[in-house]
Amino acid sequence: MNKKNLSMFGFLFLTSSILIEIYEYPTFATSGFNSIFYLLVGGLFWFLPVCLCAAEMATVEDFQEGGVFTWTSNTLGKKLGFAHIFYQFIVFTIGAVTMIYFIVGAIAYATGIEEINSNPILKFLSVIIIFWLITYVQLKGINKTALIAKIGFIGGILIPALFLFILTGIYIFKGYPIHLVMDKNTFFPNLHNKSSLVVLVSFMLSYMGLEVSATHINDMKNPKRDYPRAIIILLILAVLLSSIGALSIGMVVPKSELSLNQGVFQAFTSLLNHFGNFKIVVKILAILLCLGSIAEVSAWIIGPSRGLSLAGEKGLFDKRIAKRNKNDVASYILIIQGVLVTIWAFIITFGAGTSNNSFFMAMTLTVIVYLTAYFLFFLAYIRLTWKYDNLERKYRISKNKFIKLFIGIIGLIFTVIAFIISFIPPSGVKESQVNSYTSLLIIVFIIILVLPFIIMSVSKKMAK
């Protein structure tokens, strides 16, 4: 029996750990003062529609269990509902590797054992050991996940972020050099430039993942009241923390010296060096940042698996795979997920050793597959509004149907734009390899696109 014991703040911690990532601040900072423009545009025209649409769909009667699987199934049909949650699941199996790369890098920085981050074999082993340990804990149920999320958000996100902001404030107050030009000329990027559009997409993608935690709505004590509140708080937190974080690092670390992997540690080191020798503090902060990333991985591990489990229970694939353990966790799905993450870790870690193309392709795949999931997300909301607006719900974006449709369509348009731009090869791909890179990317994407429908077809034949 599922007990509703997840508070609004417990849910907020869980979702924040998915969405707010301090290790992305250096990437934001490389865009200088433009980063605020990108974060605001991405937040206003894409993340805000996601938040509002998710908040409404989550409170519709009979839409509260299964997250995006249920939302899409009830509006577009069960097959597309399964495809939606499957794409979300696949995205995590690839993205988990880069999430854990940060954990490995932070541990290497804190302990001084650089080999675990520089040696491919040790790095691969570190990734799979960390992932399987986190998976084991998730088998204990949502209460453990919520506890990890709470510790991870407070200790691994909030405390380091506030510490960074306070130190930056003192740095500015004392008159130390600021390595960031902030005026109207540096605020607005040249959107006629192809590279600026690619950067805009990367900022939009930093807001991805909000709906992953929607599978836990049924665990909340008062979902119809608390889910919309949590989403609005999260919207404000995500935009605010990301903006201040990008500015803080941009002010302290010169752009020419900024490392995407070590940028957070660079900023802390640079700030603390002005007040004395505090290397040990940076190492402690590295461990704290690990907690934030562990919470992120934990929330992702348990999120899509819940929706997939419900899809299996409804007969869209073998029900035995969807079976849940005594802690209400789909243990077989988590094991399959772990195997896929292990395979991706091998491909990305060792493939990137000879050519960066495997890494670039893996990252681009996560983007275009996830954007495909967002097509379904916005289409589900648009159909819900157009055809099922009479269904009872606790929260509505507006009483005016056309305002709601406008918001859903804006989100869909920006998703389509981001999808098209995402096929532009990264600058790291050699010009001679662009055609082969793009062709292989399209082939693999099509395979992933049709895979859920093949799984459903095979499962149906086997059930006869």
In angstroms, what is the C-alpha Rg of the chain? 22
Determine contact, residues 200/45, Cβ cutoff 8 Å.
no
- Asked whether residue 428 carries a pLDDT value surpassing 70, the answer given is no
Q: Mean pLDDT over residues 267-296, rounded?
A: 86
In percent, the amount of the chain with pLDDT more than 90 equals 28
- Asked whether residue 453 carries a pLDDT value surpassing 50, the answer given is yes
CATH number of residue 142's parent domain:
1.20.1740.10
Confidence band, pLDDT 50/70/90 cuts, at residue 358? low
User: Do the domain assignments include residue 2?
Assistant: no
User: Alpha-carbon distance 360 to 202, whole Å?
Assistant: 13
User: Alpha-carbon distance 165 to 463, whole Å?
Assistant: 57
User: Alpha-carbon distance 46 to 415, whole Å?
Assistant: 8
How many domains does the structure of the chain reveal?
1
Per-residue pLDDT tens over the stretch 439-450: 888 998 999 999
Determine contact, residues 217/227, Cβ cutoff 8 Å.
yes
User: Do the domain assignments include residue 132?
Assistant: yes
- Asked whether residue 379 carries a pLDDT value surpassing 60, the answer given is yes
Confidence band, pLDDT 50/70/90 cuts, at residue 354? very low
Average pLDDT, the chain: 85
pLDDT of residue 4: 62
pLDDT of residue 1: 39
The Cα angle at residue 189 between residues 42 and 427, in degrees rounded to 5: 85
DSSP codes joined into one string, 401-432: HHHHHHHHHHHHHHHHHHHHHTTSPPTTS-GG
pLDDT of residue 445: 92
Q: Mean pLDDT over residues 136-155, rounded?
A: 87
User: Do the domain assignments include residue 68?
Assistant: yes
The token pair that represents 254 in the structure block: 């010169």
Q: Lowest mean pLDDT of 57-66, 150-159, 173-182, 257-266, name the range.
A: 257-266
CA–centroid distance for 433 within its chain: 29
* CB neighbour list of residue 312: distance below 8 Å, 6 or more residues apart: 318, 319, 321, 322, 330, 333
pLDDT of residue 205: 79
Per-residue pLDDT tens over the stretch 284-301: 998 999 998 898 898 888
Determine contact, residues 104/412, Cβ cutoff 8 Å.
no
Residue for token digits 């969807």?
A: 322
User: Do the domain assignments include residue 3?
Assistant: no
Q: Mean pLDDT over residues 164-175, rounded?
A: 89
- Asked whether residue 106 carries a pLDDT value surpassing 60, the answer given is yes
Q: Lowest mean pLDDT of 38-52, 376-390, 403-417, name the range.
A: 38-52
User: Do the domain assignments include residue 1?
Assistant: no
pLDDT of residue 357: 61
User: Do the domain assignments include residue 49?
Assistant: yes
Confidence band, pLDDT 50/70/90 cuts, at residue 130? very high
| Number of residues that this document lists for the chain | 464
pLDDT of residue 370: 92
Q: Mean pLDDT over residues 142-171, rounded?
A: 87
Q: 395: domain range? A: 8-463
Residue for token digits 């423009």?
A: 37
User: Alpha-carbon distance 43 to 238, whole Å?
Assistant: 9
User: Do the domain assignments include residue 340?
Assistant: yes
Determine contact, residues 223/64, Cβ cutoff 8 Å.
yes
- Asked whether residue 191 carries a pLDDT value surpassing 80, the answer given is no
User: In b/e form, how buried is each residue of 234-263, taking b as 16+ CB within 10 angstroms?
Assistant: bbebbbebbbbbbbbbbbbbeeeebeeebb
